Amino acid sequence: MYRDEALILARVVKATLGDSQEVIIDLGGVLDMDSAGLGELVFLHMAAEDQGRRLKLAGANVQVSELFELTRLSSIFQTFPSVADALAEDELAEPV
């Protein structure tokens, strides 16, 4: 995911955040990511938090997961092996 793809993703996710409490981004088709892609994900994460919403990342391959680790972004992103796992996380949560 590079600059142009990151900008398109940001537009779609920002529009979706207005209507949803939670957005799951499926990274399954993302082979690599540059700083623009990382920056947009950070921006989207901050935008979601500012609105009281949640952003989850799912299906990142080993290379993208390692990039999150190297940049220490794994500490802010909520990541899951698959979209199904991200969806199931809410089902497993204890009611408050």
pLDDT reported for residue 1: 76
Q: Which of 55, 53, 45 is nearest to 24 (CA)?
A: 55
pLDDT reported for residue 2: 77
pLDDT reported for residue 92: 53
Torsion angle, CA of 81/87/91/93, rounded to 10 degrees? 60
Domains and CATH numbers, the chain: 3-92 (3.30.750.24)
pLDDT reported for residue 18: 85
pLDDT of residue 94 exceeding 80, the answer is no
Q: 3-14, pLDDT tens digit by residue?
A: 788 889 889 999
pLDDT reported for residue 93: 45
pLDDT reported for residue 90: 73
Q: Which of 73, 71, 89 is nearest to 81 (CA)?
A: 89
- Give me the DSSP letters along 13-82: HHHHHTT-SEEEEE-TT-----HHHHHHHHHHHHHHHHTT-EEEEE---HHHHHHHHHTTGGGTSEEESS
Q: 46-87, pLDDT tens digit by residue?
A: 999 999 999 999 999 999 999 999 999 999 999 999 999 999
